[in-house]
Amino acid sequence: MDADSYKKLYPELYLDTFVNAGVRPDGRTLGKGRAVTIGPGAVNASQGSALVRLGHTSVLAGARASLMRPAEGSADEVGKCAVLNAPVDLPSLACSCPSSPLSLPPLTLI
């Protein structure tokens, strides 16, 4: 049986073979990490952004935030809290994540 077939049919045994030998399938030792590169300012339309690469994995992150006045009569307005609107969207572009993006509510600063 060739290595690719063995890897697909018996993934745990395939990885155990390498772990027991103290190496990873790509030849790195277990304690050696992959090369990391960080490219800040990757997206011009964002207030802050970076492209991060770790081995063959790439992540593009952008950030934007705005201060908002609390709605008249709201609990935040009574306590004179500022609201920091920092939306977080995590779209699943090329992963096995759920098909709909994950969005988190704005943060409130006291």
Q: Which tens digits make up the pLDDT trace of 63-85? A: 777 766 666 766 655 556 666 66
Question: Do 62 and 41 contact (CB within 8 A), yes or no?
Answer: no
- Is the pLDDT confidence value at 12 over 90? yes
67: which strand partners? 84
Domain ranges of the chain: 35-64, 65-89+96-110
CA distance 110 to 37: 36
State the pTM of this model. 0.51
Start-to-end CA distance of the chain, whole Å, equals 63
Mean pLDDT (the chain, rounded): 76
pLDDT computed for residue 37 by the predictor = 93
| Rounded (5°) CA angle 53-5-32 | 35
Q: What is the CA radius of gyration of the chain?
A: 22
Question: Do 61 and 52 contact (CB within 8 A), yes or no?
Answer: yes
